[in-house]
């Protein structure tokens, strides 16, 4: 089993509740809140636990919310490596209107990191022994952080021989790709921006992914197509993985679940097609659960078996 590290620089605690009938300027009686760990890399580590793959989750942790985040992750048997910071860890707020089943998501920005805190993060990663074979960088950046910090971090990680999996967006993703990664998971909109194209569709997405590979920005590109599944593109492969037909209750957490599924196969030494299938299976399984939950392992394994059977049909 390969060692896996996930990095989350702007983690969160997701606080969710329900209320009947959201109306302005009224006192709303909410149900007791539910607290869950959040943030891209953290969710990937949570998903890996469900798949029986150990990982280490490195994240910033500050104040009472940071302490709560650590306790929530330990309760889920996630191996944590918190980096203490002065600012309070952010908290997101999710409310479901029970009368309409509509979900309202309020995302807080978090607090900026100081130069010394950023240096401490880099030092903590570089000091890991044994150094992980796979490093997942996922989620948003803290406010005011220069995206160049991520580029330098990727350089250091690759220098130690690890393979980087990137699942972020905007300037952060652009900078990371300037350094080059092993695996990239953009959605169709992100891929369009990276390729400098105003619009991509099923016919042109694989060409855009191949362009990134030819430019040395990634070795493997998994293009997330939502309900249409995903495209697996490498130097030698171009395969569409269809999404199984499931009853969708929520798409929250599907992207992180997809990454967890892919990394689980990489950690076990599986091939690219198996990796992509497990990614689609876990992402699809996540949509079967309401609210902010990730996937259920049994659902993911059943969907993977279905994809495997579909792939064997000539």
Structure tokens, 63: 């104040």
Residue 44 CA to residue 7 CA, distance in Å, equals: 10
- Say how many C-beta atoms besides its own lie within 10 A of residue 144's C-beta: 9
Q: Under DSSP, is residue 60 helix (H, G, I), strand (E, B) or coil?
A: strand
- State how far the Cα of 172 lies from the Cα of 126, in Å rounded to an integer: 20
206 is catalytic: no
Nearest 10 degrees: Cα torsion 164, 170, 172, 178:
70
- The residue annotated as part of the active site, out of 14, 167, 206, 256, is 256
DSSP 78-130: -EEEEEE-SSPPEEEEEEEETTTTEEEEE-----PPPHHHHHHHHHHHHT-SS
Distance in angstroms (rounded) separating the CA atoms of residues 288 and 251: 8
User: Which amino acids are annotated catalytic?
Assistant: 256
């Amino acid at each position: 089993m390969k060692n896996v590290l996930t990095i989350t620089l702007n983690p969160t605690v997701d606080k969710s509740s329900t209320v009947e009938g959201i109306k302005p300027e009224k006192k709303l009686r909410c149900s007791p809140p539910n607290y869950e760990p959040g943030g891209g890399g953290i969710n990937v580590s949570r998903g890996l636990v469900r798949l029986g793959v150990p990982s280490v989750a490195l994240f910033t942790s500050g104040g009472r919310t940071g302490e709560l985040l650590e306790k929530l992750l330990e309760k889920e048997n996630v191996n944590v490596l918190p980096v203490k910071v002065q600012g309070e860890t952010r908290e997101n707020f999710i409310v479901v209107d029970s009368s309409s089943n509509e979900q309202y998501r309020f995302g807080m920005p978090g607090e900026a990191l100081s130069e010394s805190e950023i240096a401490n993060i880099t030092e903590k990663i570089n000091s890991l022994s044994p150094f992980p074979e796979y490093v997942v960088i996922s989620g948003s950046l803290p406010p005011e952080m220069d995206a160049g910090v991520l580029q330098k971090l990727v350089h250091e990680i690759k220098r130690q021989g690890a393979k980087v999996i990137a699942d972020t967006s905007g300037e952060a993703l652009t900078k990371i790709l300037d350094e080059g990664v092993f695996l990239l998971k953009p959605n169709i909109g992100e891929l369009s921006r990276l390729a400098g194209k105003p619009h991509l569709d099923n016919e042109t997405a694989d060409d855009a992914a191949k362009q990134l590979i030819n430019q040395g920005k990634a070795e493997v590109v998994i293009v997330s197509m939502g309900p249409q599944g995903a495209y697996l593109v490498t130097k030698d492969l171009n395969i569409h993985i269809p999404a199984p037909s499931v009853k969708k209750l929520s798409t929250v957490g599907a992207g992180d679940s997809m990454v967890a599924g892919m990394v689980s196969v990489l950690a076990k030494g599986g091939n690219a097609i198996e990796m992509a299938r497990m990614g689609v299976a876990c992402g699809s399984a996540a949509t079967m659960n309401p609210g902010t939950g990730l996937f259920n392992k049994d659902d993911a394994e059943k969907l993977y078996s279905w994809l495997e059977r579909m792939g064997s049909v000539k």
